[in-house]
């Protein structure tokens, strides 16, 4: 379970029980307070409390006192009330909103999203982590991952994150940094497989002016940029052997030199590495150093493939839609049949592939409801019984309802194909922006279907490889495998 906590204050035991279950369902730890006068004793430290829900406190005077203390507390806990009379809360502008009982899953998820945004704007600037994202999932495998993060995050041990492409290895690395004592220092990621071998040493250690052809100025390396913080070495299995020797020396001695310099620099960084490769096979084949493997593999964390935790897919779909809504890029709703089909699909691209599908559906069916027949044919899987736990999660997913469309979105601007666009919105549309969105999604789909191999994706899109690389750079799409 996540270290994030939700404070619940209510004298009604039935309401407390329901809220406790819901809070656990959204992957947070409930802090239940039955006596409002003792709320701080029961709540304890407020630093990890992401939201407070205040319900029936017995009388309005006690309610106002509690709300006043929460809103004015130095921890700036976001507060939501639970069906309180408006007269009791009008004096407290720090309250973000009100929840209606019985609270439903989407209602609580939206409240958590608002609370997260509120905390982001009210935390000290040096403690903000704009790139941190929670690990979504209540499956046994993901709870084990979350427990390991809790255990090792505040230590100095090197961590090796293992898992297929698209499982969220960088998300785990960012969580390890965020919950460590180094969280106020930089988190610096490096994709070891995306940097040419001859440039990797300069990228990691930096260089002095004139140290090699093209070095027209001095440049800091990633170790120097990450000083005091965390260096994330993604796809460490693709690092060339000569570079592995130099990295091992830095990990052992905690010192290094820029290229072209004889000045020794100290490396006060925590190293987290990740790979989708089987490093023990690489060691047997002589492609990875055994001593480096043992130096990195102090605390291994293996991320399960999405097909191994289908019960998390409904939660992930909801989280992905909420992110898109938060970015004001539209929304969509999926029926139970559509979600069940996505739960049956094996997801070779894992969470990254699921995110691409959700983003595609938002563009194809903006502010609409997606049924089984509406999802791309590739993902229409039927006839197989789902595990009981998966079926239970889908059954608990709220039924889709009519979505309030923004006034500017009267008709779909982008539909299943360009030729399906029969009418423009009344206010018109930005054609360049919509075509760019469509091109972005098609490139990501081609890369997913080509397992990240750029040359194969270029063939699918009937374009030159160099052209595709330029477009990937334009849209900020990282290549995964070459």
Q: Is 193 in the same domain as 334?
A: no
Q: Which residues, other chains included, contact 151 with Cβ-Cβ below 8 Å and sequence gap of 6+?
A: none
**Is residue 289 within 8 Å of residue 248, measured between CB atoms?**
yes
CB-side exposure of 141: number of CA atoms within 13 Å? Answer: 14
**The pair of three-digit structure tokens given for residue 147, joined into one six-digit string:** 């427990």
- 224 vs 83, which has greater pLDDT? 224
**Is residue 270 within 8 Å of residue 132, measured between CB atoms?**
no
231/112 Cα distance (integer angstroms): 30
pLDDT at residue 86 greater than cutoff 70: no
Q: Is 300 in the same domain as 313?
A: no
For residue 342, being part of any structural domain is answered with yes
* Model confidence pLDDT, tens digit, residues 139-170: 889 989 989 998 998 899 999 999 999 999 99
Q: Is 182 in the same domain as 330?
A: no
Query: Which pLDDT does position 458 carry in this prediction?
Result: 87
- Average pLDDT along the chain: 80
How many CB atoms within 10 Å of residue 481? 15
For residue 456, being part of any structural domain is answered with no
Q: Is 86 in the same domain as 220?
A: no
pLDDT at residue 282 greater than cutoff 60: yes
For 246-251, which contacts have Cβ atoms below 8 Å and span 24 or more sequence positions?
246/201, 246/205, 247/204, 247/292, 248/289, 248/291, 248/292, 248/295, 250/223, 251/158, 251/292, 251/295, 251/296
- The CA-atom distances, in angstroms, between 362 and each of 251, 290, 355, 413, 430 are 45, 46, 11, 11, 17
Chain Cα centroid distance, residue 69: 32
Which uninterrupted H or E stretch holds 275?
A: strand 270-275
pLDDT at residue 352 greater than cutoff 70: yes
* Model confidence pLDDT, tens digit, residues 11-38: 888 888 888 888 887 778 888 888 777 6
Of the three residues 381, 406, 429, the one that is the final residue of a domain is 429
Q: Is 234 in the same domain as 211?
A: yes
* Model confidence pLDDT, tens digit, residues 378-429: 999 887 677 776 777 666 665 545 555 554 443 333 444 444 444 566 666 6
Asked if residue 102 has a cis previous peptide bond (ω within 30° of 0), the answer is yes
Nearest to 412 by CA among 384, 434, 380: 434
414: domain CATH number is 1.10.8.60
174/272 Cα distance (integer angstroms): 10
Percent of the chain scoring above 90 in pLDDT: 27
Q: Is 159 in the same domain as 17?
A: no
For residue 469, being part of any structural domain is answered with no
- 17 vs 350, which has greater pLDDT? 350
62/44 Cα distance (integer angstroms): 19
Q: Is 168 in the same domain as 201?
A: yes
Which range among 111-120, 337-346, 379-388 has the greatest average pLDDT? 337-346
Of the three residues 98, 123, 148, the one that is the final residue of a domain is 123
212: domain CATH number is 3.40.50.300
For residue 35, being part of any structural domain is answered with yes
364/453 Cα distance (integer angstroms): 26
For residue 228, being part of any structural domain is answered with yes
99 confidence band (pLDDT: 50, 70, 90): confident
Q: Which residues, other chains included, contact 353 with Cβ-Cβ below 8 Å and sequence gap of 6+?
A: 166, 347, 448
Q: Which domain holds residue 105?
A: 5-123
Q: Is 411 in the same domain as 319?
A: yes
What HEC string does 317-366 produce?
HHHHHHHHHHCCCCCCEECHHHHHHHHHCCCCCHHHHHHHHHHHHHHHCC
380/372 Cα distance (integer angstroms): 7
Q: Is 28 in the same domain as 41?
A: yes
Of the three residues 304, 321, 351, the one that is the final residue of a domain is 304
Q: Is 342 in the same domain as 374?
A: yes
Which stretches does DSSP call E strand in 167-269?
A: 187-191, 206-207, 219-220, 230-234, 255-256, 265-266
17: domain CATH number is 3.40.50.2300
295 confidence band (pLDDT: 50, 70, 90): very high
For residue 403, being part of any structural domain is answered with yes
Query: Which pLDDT does position 417 carry in this prediction?
Result: 40
Comparing 43-52, 178-187, 241-250, 356-365, the range with the smallest average pLDDT is 43-52
Chain Cα centroid distance, residue 290: 32
DSSP one-letter code for 24: H
Q: Is 283 in the same domain as 390?
A: no
Domain count, the chain: 3
For residue 441, being part of any structural domain is answered with no
**Is residue 287 within 8 Å of residue 241, measured between CB atoms?**
yes
Q: Is 10 in the same domain as 104?
A: yes
């Amino acid at each position: 379970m996540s270290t994030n906590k939700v404070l619940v204050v209510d004298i009604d035991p039935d309401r407390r029980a329901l809220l406790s279950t819901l809070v656990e369902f959204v992957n947070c730890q409930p802090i239940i307070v039955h006596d409002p006068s003792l709320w701080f004793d029961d709540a304890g430290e407020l630093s990890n409390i992401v939201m407070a829900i205040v319900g029936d406190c017995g009388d309005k005077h006690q309610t106002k006192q509690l709300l006043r203390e929460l809103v004015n507390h130095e921890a700036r806990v976001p507060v939501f009330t639970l069906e309180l009379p408006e007269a009791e809360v009008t004096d407290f502008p720090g309250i973000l909103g009100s929840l209606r009982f019985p609270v439903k899953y989407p209602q609580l998820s939206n409240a958590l999203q608002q609370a997260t945004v509120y905390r982001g704007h009210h935390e000290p600037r040096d403690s903000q982590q704009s790139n941190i994202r929670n690990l979504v999932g209540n499956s046994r495998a993901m709870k084990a991952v979350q427990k390991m993060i809790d255990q090792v995050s505040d230590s100095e041990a090197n961590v090796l994150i293992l898992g297929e492409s698209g499982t969220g290895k960088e998300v785990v690395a960012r969580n390890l940094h965020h919950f460590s004592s180094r969280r106020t220092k930089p988190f610096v990621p490096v994709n070891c497989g995306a940097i040419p071998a001859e440039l990797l040493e300069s990228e990691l250690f930096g260089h002095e002016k004139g140290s090699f052809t093209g070095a027209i100025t001095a440049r800091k390396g990633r170790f120097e940029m990450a000083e005091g913080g965390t260096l994330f070495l993604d796809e460490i299995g693709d690092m060339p052997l000569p570079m592995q020797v130099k990295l091992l020396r830095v990990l052992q001695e905690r010192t290094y030199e820029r290229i072209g310099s004889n000045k020794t620099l100290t490396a006060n960084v925590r190293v987290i590495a990740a790979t989708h490769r089987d490093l023990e096979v690489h060691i047997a084949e002589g492609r990875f150093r055994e001593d480096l493997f043992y130096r990195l593999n102090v605390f291994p964390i293996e991320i399960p493939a999405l097909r191994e935790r289908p019960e998390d897919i409904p939660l992930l779909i909801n989280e992905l839609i909420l992110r898109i809504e938060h970015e004001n890029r539209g929304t969509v709703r999926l029926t139970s049949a559509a979600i069940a089909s996505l739960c049956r699909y094996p997801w070779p691209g894992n969470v990254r592939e699921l995110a691409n599908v959700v983003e595609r559906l938002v563009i194809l069916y903006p502010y609409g409801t997606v049924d089984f027949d509406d999802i791309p044919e590739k993902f229409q899987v039927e006839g197989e019984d789902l595990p009981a736990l998966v079926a239970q999660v889908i059954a608990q997913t709220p039924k889709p309802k009519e979505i309030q469309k923004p006034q500017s979105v009267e008709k779909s601007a982008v539909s299943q194909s360009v030729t399906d666009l029969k009418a423009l919105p009344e206010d018109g549309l930005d054609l360049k922006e919509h075509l760019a969105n469509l091109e972005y999604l098609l490139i990501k789909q081609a890369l997913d279907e080509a397992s990240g191999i750029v040359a194969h994706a270029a063939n699918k899109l009937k374009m030159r490889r160099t052209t595709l690389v330029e477009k990937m750079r334009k849209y900020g799409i990282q290549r995964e495998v070459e």
